[in-house]
Structure 1
Amino acid sequence: MKLVDLTLKDFTSELASSSPAPGGGSAAALSGSIGVSLVSMVGTLTLGSKKYAQHHDATQGLIDQADASRLEFLRIVDADTESFNIVSDAFKLPKETPEDKAARSVAIQAGLKQCTLTPYQILEQALVGMKLIEAMLEGFNTSASSDLGVAALHLHTAAYGGWYNILINLSSIKDQAFVDDYTTKGTYLLETIDTLHQQILDKVASYL
């Protein structure tokens, strides 16, 4: 059964167990999905109010994008655990001969790269979500201001959760070009997310 098909009670029980996966990456992706779900909710509340009729077309587009992002985050919840399992299996490969050791090393390095790419997708989606909130703030049902603030907080958590998972994997990857590439790209995404996050919280606070 997929993690996303578990009840909240069962999912959190899995997180609390001694198993290393699901772990922080899957939790970060779930946080992101909650964030964009709140964006969809605020959009739907806006559509339901005649007061914001002039924003309805734009809002519907934002809802559609938020729904797509929610599904992508949910995909990553399972993908992150699957990536971890690939690395875990690679570490269990035989290392009796030089050939075994070489093959095992290649498998581990490939797995670590996959474990970097998956949380990088969390960062990408977190930026998508932040931009959706930024756009929705141009015209929305202000009675749901606090919900957009919570959405931003969840997406910020998702971004940092993804970043920490990227860093811990990069520290074991021997391909320096790969390490440099994802360090640069990840840092840029995180800085952009940080800036948007603060701008959003400041604007949300002005409505409270």
Structure 2
Amino acid sequence: MIEDTSLEVFLNELASKTPTPGGGSAAAIMGGMGAALVAMVCNLTINKKAYEAVDAEMRDILQRAEVLREQLTGMMRQDIEAFDRVMSAYGLPRETEAEKAVRSQAIQSALKDATEVPLACARASAEIIALSRVVAEKGNKNVVSDAGVAVVAAYAALKSSALSVRVNTGALSDVSFATQSITELDVILDGADTAMREIYQEVVHRL
């Protein structure tokens, strides 16, 4: 599976002429890296005498970050599978009216799946941004720069996955589903730019 692939192989595949893995998988791994770095800051804060007051909070964040990391790692594969379903649907025969109808329905169904995966990635990435704020403000000062990298990675994942949502909804005939997806995406994106800048500056201030 793609999540078990070495980094070198993954990057080679990402750079190749094949359409997958692509931007969706890259967004998922960026989000996963953000979650992993949040977990790292937590692990280096927990059981430290100077940070006893936030120990319980860091443990809670660590648990959530690890769940998000697992989810996002899985989204690398899910994005590839969703894109492959779209390509397979476009490849269906379209000689007769019946075939055209089947093909159209298959394309629309596949596009919905291809929209839901990056939307889930956007949700998870936004949560990582929120978690990175806490570890940036309260985590071990010696690794606060890693909290900064975490928020930048999660922000990149969020903005990248938003592109995938928009491109897929643009080809949907189900206007209600497309509108609902974009509306949710806009809610997720609202305030993300400001949050990223604030957290980044907090990190710089603590360096």
Q: Shorter chain as normaliser: what TM range? A: over 0.9
What's 1:60 paired with?
Answer: 59
Post-superposition Cα deviations, 1:102-156, rounded to whole Å, max 9, x if no partner, equal: 0000000111111100000011001110111122234210111110010000000
What residue identity is the alignment partner of 2:167? I
Report what 1:4 is aligned to.
3
What residue in structure 1 maps to residue 89 of structure 2? Answer: 90
Q: CA deviation at 1:203?
A: 1.1
Contact 2:137 2:202 in 1 (8 A): no
| Identity value in percent | 32
The one-letter amino acid paired with 1:58 is: E
Residue ranges of structure 1 left out of the alignment (5+ in a row):
none
Show the counterpart of 2:152: 153
Q: How far 1:193 moved relative to its partner?
A: 2.4
- How do 1:119-138 residues align onto structure 2 when only pairs under 5 Å count? 119-138=118-137
Is the Cα–Cα contact under 8 Å of residues 34 and 149 in structure 2 kept in the other structure?
yes
Amino acid at match of 1:195: T
Aligned partners of 2:88 and 2:197: how far apart in 1? 41
Q: In the alignment, does 2:112 pair up with 1:113?
A: yes
Aligned to 1:19: 18
Question: 194-203 or 101-110: which moved more?
Answer: 194-203
Deviation of the 1:176 alpha carbon: 1.1
Once the 2 structures are TM-superposed, how far is the Cα of residue 195 of structure 1 from its aligned partner? 2.8
Moved over 6 A (4+): none
- The CA deviation at 1:48 is 4.4
TM-score (norm 2): 0.97
Secondary structure (helix, strand or coil) at the match of 1:137 reads helix
SS at match of 1:47: coil
Q: Equivalent residue of 2:139, what SS?
A: coil
Say which is worse superposed, 184-193 or 35-44, in terms of deviation. Answer: 184-193
Q: Deviations over 1:149-181 (max 9, x none)?
A: 100000001001100001111111111111211
- Greater Cα shift, 137-146 or 118-127: 137-146
> Aligned residue for 2:201?
202
More deviation in 76-85 or 132-141? 132-141
User: In 1, Cα distance between the equivalents of 2:164 and 2:142?
Assistant: 36
Question: How far apart are residue 192 of structure 1 and its match?
Answer: 3.2
Which residue in the other structure is 1:164 paired with?
163
Contact 2:39/2:65 (<8 A) preserved: yes
Q: Is the 8 A contact 2:136 2:148 kept in 1?
A: no
Would you say the 8 A contact 1:126–1:193 is kept in 2? no
> 2:14–2:22: 8 Å Cα contact kept in structure 1?
yes
Q: Distance in 1 between matches of 2:19 and 2:103?
A: 21
2:192 and 2:24 map into 1 onto residues whose CA distance is 18
What is the alpha-carbon root mean square deviation over aligned residues?
1.0
Compute the TM-score of the two structures, normalised by the length of structure 1.
Answer: 0.96
